[in-house]
Chain A
């Protein structure tokens, strides 16, 4: 279902920050405000939310999963098909550590990438809230328009930030 939205485009992160603050003053919660830019602006408040250690935790879980899988693979296959190689034990831990290490790291890496894609909503639909002007360096600050929210108040807040343009659009969640 299409959701109407209003957004402003800003030349500078300071202007985007002003709009962000004005929107909050107008009663819009931080979670409802979308800020889109062509580069990260770590030094601004609008960029301070959404920090999470989730990816690190998932990578650790993925690495653990890879470790267990690798141990199962090397011990299980060796026992299922025992071959005598140079008098080494059938389950020879020293050489197996190499395989276990590689599979642990591979699993952690793949889990990280999968987590990144899933938690970032990628691949995403092309009709999400977006303006190609972002690629030209503009910063987009947008808010969904709900029936309880006066569009004029949102427009005022976006204008107060110093928007170079304020637009309305529809996007799909």
Chain B
């Protein structure tokens, strides 16, 4: 098992280089678009009065949502001690780390003068900027920083024993690098106990933090007195949507790893089936939230809110809205409700639909509202331009590139956790007396 799972680290095929070149090419498209934007100014985007948030903030919310795939799901599965989690957790945790980095980049990309990003930092200077803790944007900073720090540590800690495995199998420069990452890990009983305790604590701590992060992202909208934003449902609605899109991203990532790294022996169809069930449940929950939100708005019949409402039901955004409902609700329901369709391929198709649908959902939360504020004189429209589209495409390329490089240099499946999962179950409690005869474990 160890050799099999370390194979991607110790051998490199030409396909890896081709994939990296393609992904770097996609990322460079985004870098080029960003350079063009910096050179020409943010006017090269389609943003214009009254729509000042569009693709950029959609990408921000979308990627922060995707980040919920990993740490949150992994922490929940760890706490409930779900046995099938073992091959899944690290694949998931990696998504969190990279998705957060990509998402957190957008508030800076979105600045008209991104090179002055440090002006955002709240510290006392001659500019007299001082932390305004009442601003949701400052809450964002604290929440995302906490979640990113916690997620990186949550990813790193259980990787330490695996780094030690790689350290002992490599030589020269690689041995020194992996040795440094392993921190001199030996695997004494004390170290194992401390690591498992730490992971338990981290799992307990990270779940409320993960929930808070997307709640706070929703507060960026719901704290504003703007039609269809100022809603108490936004916190749980965003959290549910984030977990929903996160599970979809996890299924796609796992299927890609299974295919390209030949991990069929570890990522079984049952893992996809279980995640498919979770995705189906989240799809139903998402549908419930959308229905509750839309029904309440429609029943209230407030003119400002109804103008946004009708923009998505009978207006210019209707095709996007219908696509969103099909992708997020109809497609998962049709595929995942039936056991015979909950295959790897079925789950991947449903997940691809959900990723598209959830991006559209974020877009439809932001743009129709901003283009239909209270007074009709301030209504407007928005149409994306090529730099924005390239930036969006580049984020997917960046995710793929970071994920590919990570799985090349770090065991993408936790080897020691998988081994623990293969230990036979006890048939009776272990005695702890001094008598050797009673000490040994009884195998089934």
Q: In the complex, A61 Cα to B136 Cα: how many Å? A: 28
Q: Are A44 and B195 within 8 A (Cβ)?
A: no
Q: In the complex, A135 Cα to B170 Cα: how many Å? A: 12
Q: In the complex, A135 Cα to B426 Cα: how many Å? A: 25
Contact of A83 among B132, B160, B195, B441 (CB under 8 A): B132
Q: Are A102 and B434 within 8 A (Cβ)?
A: no
User: What secondary structure prevails in chain A residues at the interface with B?
Assistant: helix
**Chain B, interface residues (CB within 8 Å), range:** 35 or more
Least distance between B434 CB and chain A CB atoms (Å): 7
Least distance between B30 CB and chain A CB atoms (Å): 30
Least distance between A21 CB and chain B CB atoms (Å): 4
Q: Are A36 and B441 within 8 A (Cβ)?
A: no
Q: Which of B166-202 contact A (CB under 8 A)?
A: 167-169, 179, 183-198, 201-202
Q: In the complex, A154 Cα to B133 Cα: how many Å? A: 64
Instruction: Tell me which of A39, A51, A52 has the highest count of chain B C-beta atoms within 10 A of its own C-beta.
Output: A39
Chain B residue at minimum C-beta to C-beta distance from A91: B133
Tell me if A38 is interfacial: C-beta within 8 Å of chain B: yes
Least distance between B431 CB and chain A CB atoms (Å): 8
Tell me if B397 is interfacial: C-beta within 8 Å of chain A: no
Q: Are B419 and A128 within 8 A (Cβ)?
A: no
Q: Are A50 and B202 within 8 A (Cβ)?
A: no
User: What secondary structure prevails in chain B residues at the interface with A?
Assistant: helix
Q: In the complex, A4 Cα to B219 Cα: how many Å? A: 62
Q: In the complex, A23 Cα to B439 Cα: how many Å? A: 14
- Write out, one digit per residue, whether chain B residues 67-80 have a CB within 8 A of any chain A CB (1) or not (0): 00000000000000
Contact of A47 among B150, B186, B192, B197 (CB under 8 A): B192
Contacts of B196 in A (CB 8 A): 40
- Write out, one digit per residue, whether chain B residues 410-444 have a CB within 8 A of any chain A CB (1) or not (0): 00000010011001001000111010100111000
Instruction: Tell me which of B186, B196, B432 has the highest count of chain A C-beta atoms within 10 A of its own C-beta.
Output: B186
Instruction: Tell me which of B150, B201, B202 has the highest count of chain A C-beta atoms within 10 A of its own C-beta.
Output: B201
Q: Are B157 and A95 within 8 A (Cβ)?
A: no
Q: Are B212 and A101 within 8 A (Cβ)?
A: yes
Q: In the complex, A41 Cα to B430 Cα: how many Å? A: 12
Contact of B168 among A14, A43, A119, A135 (CB under 8 A): A135
Q: Are B138 and A55 within 8 A (Cβ)?
A: no
Q: Are A21 and B420 within 8 A (Cβ)?
A: no
Of the candidate stretches B33-41, B42-50, B141-149, B388-396, the one touching chain A is B141-149
Q: Are A55 and B197 within 8 A (Cβ)?
A: yes
Tell me if B139 is interfacial: C-beta within 8 Å of chain A: yes
Chain B residue at minimum C-beta to C-beta distance from A33: B189
A contact residues vs B (CB 8 Å cutoff): 13-14, 17-18, 20-22, 24-25, 34-41, 43-53, 55-56, 59, 74, 77-78, 81, 83, 85-86, 88, 92, 95-96, 98-99, 101-103, 105-106, 108-110, 112-113, 115-117, 119-126, 128-130, 132, 134-137
| Pairs A-B, 5 closest by C-beta atoms | A124-B184, A135-B168, A21-B436, A40-B192, A50-B190
Known: A92-B133, A106-B146, A122-B185. 9 other contacts (CB 8 A): A36-B186, A45-B439, A55-B201, A92-B134, A109-B150, A115-B194, A115-B198, A116-B157, A136-B2
